[in-house]
Amino acid sequence: MHFVWVFFMCNSVGLFTKTSKKQYICNRVNFISNEDRYLYLFQFEFINQSKNNQKTYDKMIKTFISAGLLLTIMTGYSQNKNTEKADKLFQNYQYVGAAEEYLKLTQSKKGDGYVYKQLADSYYNVFDMEKASKWFAKAVESKQDAETYYRYAQTLRTLGKYPEANKQMDKFASMAPNDQRAKDHKANPNYIPSLSSKDKLFDVFDTKINSKDQADFGAVLTNDNTLYFVSSRNTGKKTDKWIDQPYLDIYQSTRSDDGKLSEPKAVSDLNTAYHDGPLTISADGNTMFFARDSHSEGSYEKDKKSNIKLGQQGIYKATKVNGN
- At 73, the pLDDT band (50, 70, 90 cuts) reads very low
Mark whether 161 and 230 lie in a shared domain.
no
Burial of 288 (0-12, 13-18, 19+ CB in 10 A): buried
Per-residue pLDDT of 200-243, as tens digits, reads: 888 888 888 998 888 899 999 998 999 999 999 988 888 888 88
Single residue among 51, 81, 111 that ends a domain in this structure: 81
The answer to whether position 282 is within a domain reads: yes
Mark whether 118 and 150 lie in a shared domain.
yes
The answer to whether position 203 is within a domain reads: no
Count of other CB atoms within 10 angstroms of residue 306: 12
The answer to whether position 324 is within a domain reads: no
The answer to whether position 87 is within a domain reads: no
Least confident of 72-86, 158-172, 270-284: 72-86
Mark whether 46 and 104 lie in a shared domain.
no
Predicted local confidence at residue 77, as pLDDT: 41
Mark whether 309 and 282 lie in a shared domain.
yes
Q: Which residues contact 43 (CB under 8 A, 6 or more apart)?
A: 25, 64
Least confident of 72-76, 93-97, 125-129, 278-282: 72-76
Mark whether 43 and 106 lie in a shared domain.
no
For the question of whether the overall pTM of this predicted structure is more than 0.75, the answer is: no
- Number of domains within the chain: 3
Q: CA 132 to CA 124: how far, in whole Å?
A: 5
The answer to whether position 211 is within a domain reads: no
Predicted local confidence at residue 199, as pLDDT: 87
What domain range includes position 14?
2-81
Single residue among 137, 164, 195 that ends a domain in this structure: 195
Mark whether 73 and 129 lie in a shared domain.
no
Most confident segment among 47-61, 63-77, 271-285, 297-311: 271-285
Mark whether 258 and 163 lie in a shared domain.
no
Which of these, 281, 247, 283, 285, lies nearest to 266 by C-alpha position? 247
Q: CA 21 to CA 258: how far, in whole Å?
A: 81
Mark whether 68 and 108 lie in a shared domain.
no
Mark whether 77 and 97 lie in a shared domain.
no
Is the per-residue pLDDT at 307 higher than 80? no
Mark whether 287 and 258 lie in a shared domain.
yes
Mark whether 156 and 135 lie in a shared domain.
yes
Single residue among 131, 163, 195 that ends a domain in this structure: 195
The answer to whether position 206 is within a domain reads: no
Most confident segment among 31-45, 57-71, 90-104: 90-104
More confident residue, 21 or 293: 293
The answer to whether position 86 is within a domain reads: no
CATH code of the domain containing 139? 1.25.40.10
Per-residue pLDDT of 24-60, as tens digits, reads: 333 333 333 333 433 333 343 444 444 455 555 555 5
The answer to whether position 183 is within a domain reads: yes
Mark whether 98 and 76 lie in a shared domain.
no
Most confident segment among 178-187, 242-251, 288-297: 178-187
